[in-house]
Structure 1
Amino acid sequence: MDTKTVPPIKERKTLTDFMRANTKFIIDPIVEHLARYRFSPDALTVVGMLSHFLFAWLIATGQMTWAAIAMFFIAPLDAFDGALARKLGRKQGGFGAFLDSTLDRLAEIILFGGFILFYMNSENALMLGVTYLAITGSIMVSYARARAEALGYECKVGIASRVERYFVMITLLFFNLPDIAMIILAIATYITLGQRMFTVWRQEYGTPDDSPLSNE
């Protein structure tokens, strides 16, 4: 049985990579402290997910600025669980990785639920539709990468990965602009989905030099 060989490609740095590289001086001391007390990375993952109920409640009740502040300080917990697992010598790609990626998706569903309740209470059918596009686009962006990587492709591309989505929400919610945040996410997530589908297509039918990830 023939095994398909996917052309090697060069990845561009994402905002996630940039944030991880430039916040190590903050993350590492906290991870060292948590590791000293053998704090569970899985527990940290669960706490991060549960915090999204707070974000959703603040959004649903129209407290957009407070939601942005809470997200700014609590959402970065997502950066600690993987680093803590590595520090504790946990198996990479095991249950912890599965739990992290699964609860990340659940967290976004909870978060967008806050927007849905907010627009339901304000009887804004148009923005309910836009929010539907934003949440489905966000889920599809994550699914596209997971499915592509399961098939052996590289797929870390696009203008609206998870970090970018949270950046948009935090910034615009702080200025009480939820409508603009949802419109941007509704558009940007589906553009990102298209970018990821095209990237996989190029790896399947193109050459390494044709790859949109090539820096050459």
Structure 2
Amino acid sequence: MGAVPDPGLTGWCRRRCRPLLLPVARALHRLGVTPNGVSLLGLAGCAAAAAVLALGHPAAAALVLLFLGPLDAVDGILAREFGGATRFGAFLDSTLDRYGEFCLFLGLLAYLWRRPGAGLPEAALVLAALTGSLLVSYTRARAEGLGFECRVGLATRFERLLLFGAALLTGWILPLVGLIAVLAHATALQRILHVRRLAR
């Protein structure tokens, strides 16, 4: 049985961007870069964006994220097209994605903390968004570990990163981070209810 395609906006974007990303994957393969290496580069990209954000440059951080963010899809293409797909690679990719999100929210917290008047409400909002994001991933991982398919959800990692980048570019940081928090927790709840229905 083949892999279940990603639903929603994530799947649509992956399908549309694949022709653009495939030459990148081929070039990396010729250079001897492995899928796991690309996953590590993706984490480095998130860390770089977080560092730029922490230094007080949100628009520049968004551009770094826009430039290096597609690596999240390139590692999968590289693995599938050139026979490098392994269970450990899939595990490592998912784990590094979580570290990448942690870096981004940490960079955001550092940026907000430098602003005049920043305090506990801003920190709580970032923490709520980070916790929701991690729970979205955890619910899927736990469900699939128990044998349930669990790709449903309003805000997968792609949608969350899209909102994160939009927040940095527009300056509407607190409203959009608040939206990430709401959608992430709603997605976690959606997955809980989905697994409950499957379990019955």
TM-score by length of 2: 0.91
Structure 2 matches for 1:19-168, cutoff 5 A? Answer: 19-92=13-86, 94-122=87-115, 123-168=118-163
Offset, 1:13: 2.3
- In 2, distance between residues paired with 1:101 and 1:125? 30
Offset, 1:75: 0.9
TM-score by length of 1: 0.85
CA RMSD of aligned residues (A): 1.7
* 1:33-55 per-position Cα deviation (integer Å, ceiling 9, x unaligned): 22223321111111110112221
* AA matched with 1:172: A
Give the number of aligned pairs. 195
Q: Which has the higher contact order (CA 8 A, sep 6+)?
A: 1
- In 2, distance between residues paired with 1:131 and 1:43? 29
Offset, 1:12: 8.0
For residues 84 and 95 of structure 1, do their structure 2 counterparts lie closer, same or farther at Cα, with a shift above 3 Å needed? same
1:173 is matched with which residue? 168
More helix by share: 2
What is the aligned-residue identity percentage?
Answer: 35
Kept in 1, the 8 Å contact 2:167–2:177? The answer is no
- In 2, distance between residues paired with 1:95 and 1:51? 21
Structure 2 matches for 1:193-204, cutoff 5 A? Answer: 193-204=188-199
- In 2, distance between residues paired with 1:171 and 1:91? 32
- In 2, distance between residues paired with 1:11 and 1:103? 21
Q: Which of 54-63 and 151-160 deviates more?
A: 54-63
* 1:87-139 per-position Cα deviation (integer Å, ceiling 9, x unaligned): 221244x2111110110001111111011112322332211101110001000
- In 2, distance between residues paired with 1:176 and 1:135? 19
Q: Which runs of 5+ in 2 are unaligned?
A: none
